[in-house]
């Protein structure tokens, strides 16, 4: 493994300074579960690694009437260890529960999963479904970008040189709403998603009509996708199989998957529809239970 310098700043300002001064040869580190592997295999060759785990702003995990603030370095285990977050942001905690195994989940962050920007990353479709917004800090100040617009290509995103993801913010869970993330993998052990789908729905008080829905799909395009139309067409429709099938077809329609050893194009398209239906069904059940 190539030698590199290591810094672990305790303030956001010094982290930004160190990253910006590096002129591209610096990498941020959260849990290191992707980064260390990429350095070990030579895919990334940073001169300096800036550990972000000691910065208070990146370790915020705060649930309030305004919603959820999730610091970019918070581990998956800390997120699914919170009962209220599991109840209100189920799609997120579903994804945190299946990223690697327990050892990985104790180090790995949702911020790192997003910044690694893999097409099959498990947390991203869940974040899209939950309408999460990225708070990005850099030498020129702070800006916000929807998670749905964050990834631009495999391993690429909108972060500019010197910028870091500080936190993710999600709106408060509306009444009569629920969410779910699930993926298909070829075996029961750790593996990369062949398809992953996150859904969130808000129903009317009777639980029989969709007020709104959001669907995110992963592993079926160069970046995780926001299946905007699939969610939009559910608004106002009755909660039944016909409505769910329509949304599943719309999600399938935007999938442009690749053929690989895990699945053919045809199979991935088919599974996109199947998982969209299942993600919606579980979201509906949760919305009805969690008034």
Ligand X SMILES: Cc1cc2nc3c(=O)[nH]c(=O)nc-3n(C[C@H](O)[C@H](O)[C@H](O)COP(=O)(O)OP(=O)(O)OC[C@H]3O[C@@H](n4cnc5c(N)ncnc54)[C@H](O)[C@@H]3O)c2cc1C
Q: Which residues bind ligand X (CB under 6 A)?
A: 27-35, 37, 52, 72, 98-100, 104, 107-109, 111-113, 115-116, 121-122, 159, 164-165, 190
Of 109 and 200, nearer to ligand X (C-beta) is 109
Q: Rounded to an integer, what is the distance from CA 119 to the centroid of its chain?
A: 11
Of 27 and 269, nearer to ligand X (C-beta) is 27
Least distance to ligand X from the beta carbon of 104, Å? 5
Of 115 and 251, nearer to ligand X (C-beta) is 115
Of 67 and 111, nearer to ligand X (C-beta) is 111
Residue 191: exposure state from Cβ atoms within 10 A (0-12, 13-18, ≥19): middle
Least distance to ligand X from the beta carbon of 100, Å? 3
Name the closest residue to ligand X (Cβ): 112
Of 29 and 282, nearer to ligand X (C-beta) is 29
Least distance to ligand X from the beta carbon of 135, Å? 10
Least distance to ligand X from the beta carbon of 188, Å? 12
Least distance to ligand X from the beta carbon of 196, Å? 8
Written in H, E and C, the secondary structure of the chain is CCCCEEECCCCHHHHHHHHHHCCCCEEEECCCCCHHHHHHCCCCCCCEEEECCCCHHHHCEEEECCEEEEECCCEHHHHHCCHHHHHHCHHHHHHHCCCCCHHHHHHCEHHHHHHHCCCCCCHHHHHHHCCCEEEEEECCEEEEEEHHHCEEECCEECCCCCCEEEEEEEECCCCCEEEEEEEECCCCCCCCCCEEEEEEEEECCCCCEEEEEEEEEECCCCCCEECHHHHHCCCCCECCHHHHHHHHHHHHHHCCCCCECCECHHHHHHHHHHHHHHHHHHHHHHHHHCC
Of 105 and 243, nearer to ligand X (C-beta) is 105
Least distance to ligand X from the beta carbon of 269, Å? 21
Of 115 and 215, nearer to ligand X (C-beta) is 115
Least distance to ligand X from the beta carbon of 117, Å? 8
């Amino acid at each position: 493994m190539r030698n590199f310098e290591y810094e672990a700043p305790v303030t956001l300002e010094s982290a930004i300074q160190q990253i910006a001064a590096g002129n591209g040869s610096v990498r941020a580190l959260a849990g290191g579960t992707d980064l260390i592997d990429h350095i070990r295999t030579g895919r990334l060759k940073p001169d300096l690694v800036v550990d972000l785990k000691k910065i208070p702003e990146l370790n915020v995990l705060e649930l309030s009437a305004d919603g959820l603030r999730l610091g970019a370095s918070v581990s998956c285990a800390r997120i699914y260890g919170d009962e209220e977050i599991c109840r209100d942001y189920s799609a997120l905690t579903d994804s945190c529960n299946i990223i690697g195994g327990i050892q990985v989940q104790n180090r790995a962050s949702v911020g790192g999963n997003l910044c690694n920007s893999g097409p099959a990353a498990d947390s991203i479709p869940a974040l899209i479904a939950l309408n999460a917004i990225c708070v990005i800090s850099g030498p020129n100040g702070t800006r916000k970008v929807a998670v749905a617009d964050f990834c631009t290509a495999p391993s690429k995103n909108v972060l500019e040189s010197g910028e870091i993801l500080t936190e993710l913010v999600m709106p408060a869970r509306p009444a009569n709403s629920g969410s779910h993330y699930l993926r298909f993998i070829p075996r029961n052990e750790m593996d990369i998603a062949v398809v992953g789908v996150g859904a969130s729905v808000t129903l009317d008080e009777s639980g029989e009509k969709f007020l709104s829905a959001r669907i995110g799909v992963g592993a079926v395009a160069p970046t995780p996708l926001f299946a905007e139309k699939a969610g939009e067409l559910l608004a106002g429709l009755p909660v039944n199989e016909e409505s769910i099938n329509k949304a599943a077809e719309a999600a399938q329609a935007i999938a442009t998957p690749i053929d690989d050893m895990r699945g053919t194009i045809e199979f991935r398209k088919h599974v996109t529809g199947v998982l969209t239906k299942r993600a919606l069904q579980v979201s509906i059940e949760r919305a009805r239970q969690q008034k």
